[in-house]
Structure 1
Amino acid sequence: MRHCLVLLALLLSLPLSAAQLHLELGATSRQWSSAELLAHPQAREISIDQDVSYQQPMHYRAVPLALLLEGVNASDHLQAVALDGFAAEMPAAPLLQRGPAQAWLAVEDPGKPWPALGQGKPSAGPFYLVWTAPQASGIRPEQWPYQISTIRKLASVEARFPTLLPDSKLPADSPVRQGFALFQQNCLACHRLNGAGDAQLGPDLNVPHNPTEYFQPGYLRQLIRDPQSLRQWPQAKMPAFTQSVLSDQELDNLLAYLAHMAKRRP
């Protein structure tokens, strides 16, 4: 038993192994190791005043993400896939801009690991998309994916998953259409709907039933605003969508989209 404990202590004392970032950008495909990125000539130390995942100021060694997106245009659509199945859908334009808000790929040094995200949880590494001056471009929390393993260029959500689309007869300014845009930004990273989507983290939000059908309206709002206040369990991963992330009007629009889609199952 003593030898097992000594071995375990030795293993825990060893640095993390180098990680690999996979870039699948259409005709261009590349892998970067964490060591290569940490030594990148454009890598630098950056400070994040209010880190979305750690909820405190953080310091990282990072590379401007635009430098890694060779061949990507502002009109393209990208997806960041995390180790746990989180799949963040991201228009390329904000990722390519050099300011005022700028996207950075923070790289975890295997010899100096970042802190855990919570008790019993891993860190945000090995690769984490962070932003300087995020408020300047209205960057949302869902645009800070962490534990990234792959970034790939894909067709738009509408083209890939037509069963997510609301009724085409709806006017352009319909709350349902606005809710669909919010669903893509805030929900599709973790949830599927009508079986459509790439995420593998949360349940489907329309099959077999839609949350607008089995939650009382007040409790559904409470679940979105503060999931842990409604039901608690240690492995819960759904974040709280506060007023600063999703206004009351935006929440109304999101719920309008979900209720609309309850009548549009395949």
Structure 2
Amino acid sequence: MRTTLQRLAHLPLLAALLTPGAWAAELKLELSGSSRSWSTEQLLTHPQAQQVEIPGDVSYKRTMHYRAVPLAALLEGVQPGDHLQAVALDGFAAELPAAPLLSTQGARAWLAVEDPAQPWPRLSKNKPSAGPFYLVWQQPEAAQIGPEQWPFQVSTFRLLAPVAQRFPALLPAADASAEVQAGFAVFQKNCLACHRLNGAGDSHFGPDLNIPHNPTEYFAGDFLQQYIRDPQSLRKWPQGRMPEFSGAVLSDRELGELIGYLGHMVKHKSSR
């Protein structure tokens, strides 16, 4: 889990992005045993690049317009049943099923490309923009695309095995309830991009959620639910990086399932 704005505050490697002329970048694609790179210039002039309108942009909180390429056009050889990961410059690692990324109907994924000649707005004062590459969506509600599936400052897309295969330490016990299994799915979608659990995961952004202690062990009563909904309501801290997860993003049912999964994993601590 992360905040769109605050996660950038301490990232020296992004400082160069604040200087005009430093924005030209390369996007890496690691797919099907091969690797290729696309430069900013190549993507801006891609045959399928076009101007797109993104209402309710997750990062900028308003309608935005981008020069963008359909992400499906870059995912040569990727199949709908595959699984990809989008890695950002700060270590954020979004886990993405391939099917919605490849879709040409309903929810549609676009790779927005920042043009050095027409830079995007900063995300906030003294912060860089969402560039150089940003995964944006048209009609995200058609595929229940959540905020964690809008990674910005993307550097790499990787074709990987599903999370359950790569990180068995995340798996609930075989006899876990249907609610706990559903909570594992909620965790993958909303938490794994920032957090590890039992030392398992690819993100280098947030703390582990089971080692040494699980949040269900130190949040009493309904405080964990409150913290997930509105972290600043419990810890008023300007440097806090945990975002709010409103009911529109995480329903009460999904929140209960997530907490059920976390509570279950207290009894299944391990460390790689």
In the superposition, the TM-score normalised over structure 2's length comes to 0.90
Distance 1:204 1:75 in 2: 29
1:178 corresponds to? 182
1:154 corresponds to? 160
2:225 corresponds to? 221
Distance 2:49 2:168 in 1: 40
In the superposition, the TM-score normalised over structure 1's length comes to 0.92
- Equivalent of 1:230, from 202, 212, 234? 234
CA 1:219–1:56: 2 relative to 1, 3 Å: same
1:36 corresponds to? 42
Distance 1:179 1:12 in 2: 39
Conservation of the 8 A alpha-carbon contact between 1:62 and 1:106: yes
Instruction: Please report how far the alpha carbon of residue 228 of structure 1 lies from its aligned counterpart in structure 2 after TM superposition.
Output: 2.2
Distance 1:252 1:264 in 2: 19
**CA offsets 1:24-71 (integer angstroms, 9 cap, x no match):** 012221100111101111100000111011111100000000000011
**CA offsets 1:96-144 (integer angstroms, 9 cap, x no match):** 0101111000001112211111233221111000011111222111111
Structure 2: which amino acid aligns with 1:248?
A: D
Name whichever of 41-50 and 234-243 sits farther off.
234-243
1:56 corresponds to? 62
Task: Verify: 1:100 aligned to 2:106, yes or no.
Answer: yes
Conservation of the 8 A alpha-carbon contact between 1:24 and 1:152: yes
Task: Verify: 1:70 aligned to 2:85, yes or no.
Answer: no
Q: How does 1:1-266 map to 2 (within 5 A)?
A: 14-171=20-177, 174-266=178-270
Name whichever of 140-149 and 179-188 sits farther off.
140-149
Structure 2: which amino acid aligns with 1:149?
A: S
Structure possessing the higher radius of gyration over alpha carbons: 1
SS at match of 1:262: helix
Runs of 5+ consecutive residues of structure 1 not aligned to the other structure: 1-10
Conservation of the 8 A alpha-carbon contact between 2:49 and 2:68: yes
Instruction: Please report how far the alpha carbon of residue 218 of structure 1 lies from its aligned counterpart in structure 2 after TM superposition.
Output: 2.1
Structure 2: which amino acid aligns with 1:161?
A: F
Name whichever of 195-204 and 128-137 sits farther off.
128-137
Distance 2:105 2:248 in 1: 22
Conservation of the 8 A alpha-carbon contact between 2:18 and 2:127: no
Structure 1: which amino acid aligns with 2:27?
A: L
SS at match of 1:116: coil
Structure 1: which amino acid aligns with 2:231?
A: P
Structure 1: which amino acid aligns with 2:247?
A: Q
Instruction: Please report how far the alpha carbon of residue 12 of structure 1 lies from its aligned counterpart in structure 2 after TM superposition.
Output: 7.0
Distance 2:133 2:61 in 1: 17
Name whichever of 224-233 and 242-251 sits farther off.
224-233
RMSD: 1.5
Conservation of the 8 A alpha-carbon contact between 2:23 and 2:132: no
Distance 2:105 2:160 in 1: 24
Distance 1:232 1:69 in 2: 42
CA 1:217–1:87: 2 relative to 1, 3 Å: farther
User: For this pair of structures, how many residues does the alignment match?
Assistant: 254
Runs of 5+ consecutive residues of structure 2 not aligned to the other structure: 1-16
Structure 2: which amino acid aligns with 1:140?
A: G
CA 1:158–1:232: 2 relative to 1, 3 Å: same
